Amino acid sequence: MQSDSGLSRWLKVPLLYNVFQAAVGGNAGRRRIVQNHVRAKAGDKVIDIGCGPAQALQCLPDVQYVGFDINPDYIAAAKRTYGSKGTFVVGDTHSLRGDLRFKNADIVTAVSVLHHLDDEDAADCIQFAYDALKNGGRFVSHDPCWVPNHGAFSKYIMSHDRGRNIRTEQQYRELAEKVFRNVKASVDTKPMRIPYVTVVLECEK
């Protein structure tokens, strides 16, 4: 579930979303995630859950990219910007579960997705990723994260995130470990220009 008022409503507009991400350092953060955690190689099949306007393509090598998002405006923007560089689909993990385009992936990503979902839908998202992966493939997620002794300003900013299901590192890990046996977590206390804390999960099938 996510907030749908004020800034949150405007961030559904692809251009404004891109401008906002650049302003707060989100684009630089995405590059670090792709380089340090996704680590895709040319020729890999990459499925991007909640791909937004598919900005990850700016950081990826020449991969077989398949992205989906529930916002049709994001998908339209991705098609305009990246054209034949990927496949872009409107949908979610429920509606696309039987779609064969979302199978046999080397890597599945979900960047800033799980904190928008309650535990049931987050578990379904993680199961979707597992089912979409080849044996030995990896699922990489990235989300805001509560930590002990969280700074007051950071806590205030994060409490106004569009996503209403921010969790602790342990809570994210427990969700992933219900599906994946091999789960690694990395917490970053300074991922952007604004005070924020995030966690990356790397899960191997």
Assign residue 50 a region (left: φ > 0; alpha: ψ between -120 and 50; beta: otherwise). Answer: left
* 68 domain residue, yes or no: yes
Give domain status of residue 2, yes or no: no
Examine residue 192 and state whether it is found in any structural domain, yes or no: yes
Question: Is residue 170 situated within a structural domain?
Answer: yes
DSSP characters over 157-182? HHHTSSBS--EEHHHHHHHHHTT-SE
Q: Is residue 136 part of a domain?
A: yes
Judge whether 158 lies within some domain.
yes
pLDDT in 10s for each residue of the chain, 205 residues: 444 433 344 345 444 445 444 444 456 677 889 999 999 999 999 999 999 999 999 999 999 999 999 999 999 999 999 998 999 999 999 999 999 999 999 999 999 899 999 999 999 999 999 999 999 999 999 999 998 888 776 776 777 666 789 999 999 999 999 999 999 999 988 755 566 789 999 999 9
pTM of the model: 0.84
Q: Give me the CATH number covering residue 118.
A: 3.40.50.150
Q: Which domain holds residue 135?
A: 7-204
Terminal Cα-to-Cα distance of the chain (whole angstroms): 27
Has residue 126 been placed in a domain?
yes
Could you give the number of structural domains in the chain?
1
Which two structure tokens, joined as six digits, stand for 166? 């921010």
